[in-house]
Structure formats: C-alpha cells, structure tokens
Homo-oligomer: A and B are copies of this chain.
C-alpha cells in the first residue's frame, strides 16, 4: 500500500479514529456502523467511509466495522505496531511535561532520554527518564537506534540542533519550537505550535461572538 499520497486532512483524522476505537474496545464494543461512529465523533458517516477507503476500506456495506480489527489496522497504518524509541532535546518545563506524559508509552513510544546543557537538570531524571548532557547525544542516538526526537528548546537553537539530529540518524522531528524547520525531504516533521493553536482559539472565540 502506498501511504505517501494520503491527504494531510485524512492523516489529521486518523489518530482520532484510533483514539475513539480504543475507547470502544475498552468498553467491550465488538462492531460499530459508520453511522454510530460518526454520531460519536461528530464527523459525517460518509467522511469516515471515504477516509477509511484510502486504506482499502475495512468494512462491508450495511454490516459495519469490526472494532478490534479496525483499531489494529489503523494502528499499523500509524506505525504503532512496533516500539518507537525517542529522545527529547530540552529538559526545561516543556521537555519535562512531554517526558511526564504517560499516554505515549501506552502507544509504544518509549522516551529513552532527555538532553540539555543546563547543569541544574543534567544528571537528574524525569518520570524515571535520565537527563544527559547534549555532548552525549550523538553516541546515545547511534547506540540506541533513536529515530524520533522531540525538540523543546528555544527557536533560535532549534534549526541547528534539528540538523545535527538528522546527521546523527534521526528520521523524524517532533518540533515544539515556534519556527518551521527546513529539513531534508526524507525526514518526517510534525510541529506543535502552541501560539498558533491559541490564536485559532482566539479566532473561534471572536467568530462565535459575531454569530
């Protein structure tokens, strides 16, 4: 299956399907129609069918989806059927907040280390995860086959560190710095731009007030 051509909007919705299906599974639901799933998620049933058709369907007309099968298939599409080793660069409040987030481990994302230059945090640990000095990062990334790195450092330092990480072998950058990184085409990038998210909220607030 070629996954490279799927639209950004579909990719945006997939993890949400996965989360809802996981909740259904936890409650023992075996089968669900696209109609029921759509009521629950606030997406149209045809949107759901269309999205899932990108990956070959998974359902039979009039018969609904097998929850466990669909959950596991979407998990595979998202690369959650394997353990993903990752590190966090930056052990300030944000880096620590990410390290502390126990949901990631449940999804197979294992945070192996944090890196910083601040002597106050180097040598400590967060949520049981060690904080090392940045100078140890290259060896760690290579020795531990780290493919994913979260960047939680000031935006001025982010581009340089991101490029260094790529040279060390990192293939996916989860960027929390408020800047867009120019990375080689073969490197995956996902941004969490908090200020932009807050601006969207402000926009929605204003739009609701004008309704």
Chain A residues engaging chain B, CB cutoff 8 angstroms:
2-4, 6, 9, 11-12, 14-16, 18-19, 42, 77-80, 84, 92-94, 96-98, 100-101, 103-104, 107, 109, 147-148, 171-174, 178, 180, 186-190, 192-211
B187 x A148 contact (CB < 8 A) = no
A16 to chain B, nearest CB (A): 6
> How far, in whole Å, are A6 and B19 apart by their CA atoms in the complex?
27
The 8 closest A-B pairs by CB, nearest first: A15-B196, A188-B204, A190-B201, A15-B199, A93-B97, A79-B206, A79-B202, A172-B205
A78 x B15 contact (CB < 8 A) = no
By CB atoms of chain B within 10 A, which of A78, A103, A202 has the most? A202
A206 to chain B, nearest CB (A): 4
Q: Name which residue of chain B comes closest to A98, CB basis.
A: B194
> How far, in whole Å, are A192 and B101 apart by their CA atoms in the complex?
13
27 A-B pairs whose Cβ atoms sit less than 8 Å apart in the complex: A3-B210, A4-B208, A6-B207, A9-B9, A11-B200, A15-B195, A15-B197, A78-B202, A92-B100, A94-B100, A96-B97, A97-B97, A103-B194, A107-B195, A107-B199, A109-B198, A148-B202, A172-B205, A187-B208, A188-B204, A188-B207, A190-B197, A190-B200, A190-B201, A190-B204, A192-B194, A192-B197
